[in-house]
Amino acid sequence: MRRFCSVLLCIALVFGMAGCRKTQDPEPTNSKKFVIGFSQVGSESDWRIANTKSMTETFSYDPDYEFIMENARQKQENQFASVRRFILDGVDMIIIAPTIEEGWQTVLQEVHDAGIPVIIMDRSVAVWDDNLFLTNIGSNFLGQGQKAAAWLAEQTEGEDQVNILHLQGTRGATAQIMRTKALDDAVAEHSNWIAAEPLYGDFTEAKAYEVVTEYLKENRDIDVLYSENDNMTFGAMHAFDEAGITYGKGGQVKIITFDATKEALQYCMDGKIDLCVECNPLFGPQVKELIEKYRNGGQIPKQVSVEEKIFTSKDLDQAFIDAREY
């Protein structure tokens, strides 16, 4: 029996040592890339395409990073599936541009339990435990809406009645919630502002064209279009053109649009759009800076905003528009 035990002990030692040797092998330095899994909302707008380009160009050409992007096609359940795949793949970090705010608690808890840091980008998530993500980098959507409302208040001062057509983006997305809140708050403060029931454009040109075309069959008394992104604005402009409704400088409808893409700025300079509220999508480099800081053990702020302006035609010239990156 003693002899049998010592044989077992020897076998255990041999395998044990072999195991030890394996884990003590030095990791080859500089060969391991930092792997990022990125769940992007979709490709619903020019803004989104510029945002994807900024992220891809920032990380894909850097040899220190491996960047895996999955397009959720504007469906939150697709995002959940991507995030769970990233956990199984054992990525080093997950970046999420959330479609809508609600519903993230469970999946973010799973990422947290797997020990993977998360950055929330562009929009926000509504979770009760904000330790579930490192930081939230994006726009001040409420501030954007408030700038638009302040501009409109100036433009319509003294008018008896201002009829506002409101085109809403994806319901439940921070960009929609906050831009809508800014308008609702301003309507409550201005007794002469009358806002019709919002039309749902889902941040896309095609949907906006469809709903505005339908709306114009019964209602033509519109003084202002408050459109929560440029692509919906383009759809609405198309519908106005077909219905013979004029807009922009000297036209019936004043147009307020969000994003300030190159195309919208061109329309603004040409007098077709009255106000462009900027929403900057180019934050790939800023996200990278945050990641590098985090990897070097630095403290990163919980909320990071990007700089944004508003534009009317007098703020624009062709050289500025031509140089615009998105």
Closest CA to 162 of 187, 183, 143, 181: 187
The footprint of ligand AHR on residues 54-93 (CB under 6 A) is none
Strand pairing partners for 253?
247
Q: How far is the CB of 171 from ligand AHR (least distance, A)?
A: 13
- Interface residue with ligand AHR among 101, 259, 274, 278 (CB under 6 A) is 259
Closer to ligand AHR at the Cβ: 175 or 183?
Answer: 175
- Interface residue with ligand AHR among 203, 215, 267, 283 (CB under 6 A) is 203
Closest CA to 33 of 59, 13, 69, 55: 59
SS3 47: helix
Count of chain residues binding ligand AHR (CB under 6 A): 12
Closest CA to 259 of 304, 216, 310: 310
| CB 190 within 8 Å of CB 162 | yes
SS3 166: strand
- Interface residue with ligand AHR among 258, 267, 283, 311 (CB under 6 A) is 258
Query: Does residue 229 bind ligand AHR (CB under 6 A)?
Result: yes
CA count, 13 A, side-chain hemisphere, 45: 32
Stretch that binds ligand AHR, among 45-53, 75-83, 104-112, 182-190 (CB under 6 A): 45-53
Q: Which two tokens stand for residue 56?
A: 């891809």
For the chain, give me the number of helices (H) and strands (E)? 11, 13
Q: How far is the CB of 78 from ligand AHR (least distance, A)?
A: 16
The footprint of ligand AHR on residues 153-192 (CB under 6 A) is 175
- Interface residue with ligand AHR among 123, 166, 207, 272 (CB under 6 A) is 123
Closer to ligand AHR at the Cβ: 190 or 263?
Answer: 263
Q: How far is the CB of 283 from ligand AHR (least distance, A)?
A: 11
Closer to ligand AHR at the Cβ: 110 or 210?
Answer: 210
Query: Does residue 263 bind ligand AHR (CB under 6 A)?
Result: no
CA distance 273 to 21: 69
The footprint of ligand AHR on residues 265-284 (CB under 6 A) is 279
Q: How far is the CB of 99 from ligand AHR (least distance, A)?
A: 9
Q: How far is the CB of 146 from ligand AHR (least distance, A)?
A: 15
Query: Does residue 124 bind ligand AHR (CB under 6 A)?
Result: no
List strands edge to edge, sheet with 303-305: 65-71, 34-40, 93-96, 118-122, 135-138, 303-305
Q: How far is the CB of 161 from ligand AHR (least distance, A)?
A: 29
CA distance 262 to 148: 19
Q: How far is the CB of 213 from ligand AHR (least distance, A)?
A: 21
Provide the 10 A C-beta neighbour count for residue 49.
15
Q: How far is the CB of 143 from ligand AHR (least distance, A)?
A: 13
Stretch that binds ligand AHR, among 44-52, 55-63, 79-87, 295-303 (CB under 6 A): 44-52
| CB 270 within 8 Å of CB 318 | no
Closest CA to 58 of 36, 83, 86: 36
Sites of contact with ligand AHR (CB under 6 A) = 44-45, 47-48, 122-123, 175, 203, 229, 258-259, 279
